């Protein structure tokens, strides 16, 4: 829904704004699929964040602070995930790892359409063009190493 809403907006004439809207639409397309997968696994909202933190991809402290959850709310979500057998303490169980892998696999599968349409050469060119932008953002030094967006170092 968010990708469709962004795609339906008038496309700007200015190149930088056109790029911004295109990347926003692409990001929201992936996000829509991710939310659909989380919903399928009954992990919307705070439980999804606690599961992400337990997987070690994002700092629990950073996520809790950035999203405004109280320690009590965070703990209650952790208890609920423990009751479901997905976490033990602050770590994923085998079942939790399987559910998280299923969510990520579904997300990747649902996100493939635009990338397939772009093709390998188009994806490589886009990465080449956006590499300097990414490096400039990271060089500012205010980008958390473990963030929910997941901007890894290029290979």
Per the structure, the count of domains in the chain is 1
104: part of which helix (H) or strand (E)?
helix 94-139
87: domain CATH number is 1.10.10.10
Question: What is the C-alpha to C-alpha distance for residues 114 and 29, in angstroms, rounded to an integer?
Answer: 9
Question: What's the whole-number mean pLDDT along residues 71-87?
Answer: 96
Is 150's pLDDT higher than 60? no
| Token couple for 35 | 């939310």
pLDDT tens digit string along 43-77?
989 999 999 999 988 888 888 888 899 999 999 99
Task: Report yes or no on 2 lying in a domain.
Answer: no
Task: Report yes or no on 155 lying in a domain.
Answer: no
Is 11's pLDDT higher than 60? yes
SS (H, E, C) 52-90: HHHHCCCCHHHHHHHHCCCHHHHHHHHHHHHHCCCEECC
Burial of 59 (0-12, 13-18, 19+ CB in 10 A): middle
Question: What's the whole-number mean pLDDT along residues 79-89?
Answer: 96
**Structural domain that includes position 108:** 20-139
Phi/psi for 11 (5° steps) reads: -85, 130
Question: What's the whole-number mean pLDDT along residues 7-28?
Answer: 93
pLDDT tens digit string along 19-30?
889 989 999 999
pLDDT of residue 145: 62
């Amino acid at each position: 829904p968010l990708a469709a809403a962004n795609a339906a907006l008038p496309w700007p004439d200015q190149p930088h704004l056109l790029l911004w809207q295109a990347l926003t639409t692409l990001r929201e397309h992936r996000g829509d699929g991710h939310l659909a997968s989380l919903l399928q696994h009954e992990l919307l909202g705070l439980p999804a964040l606690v599961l992400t933190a337990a997987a070690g991809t994002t700092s629990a402290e950073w996520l809790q602070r950035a999203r405004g959850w109280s320690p009590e709310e965070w703990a209650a979500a952790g208890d609920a995930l423990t009751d479901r057998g997905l976490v033990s303490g602050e770590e994923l169980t085998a079942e939790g790892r399987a559910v998280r892998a299923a969510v990520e696999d579904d997300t990747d599968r649902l996100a493939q359409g635009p990338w397939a349409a772009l093709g390998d050469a188009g994806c490589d060119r886009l990465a080449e063009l956006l590499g300097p932008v990414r490096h400039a953002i990271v060089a500012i030094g205010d980008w958390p190493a473990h963030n929910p967006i997941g901007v890894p170092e290029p290979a």
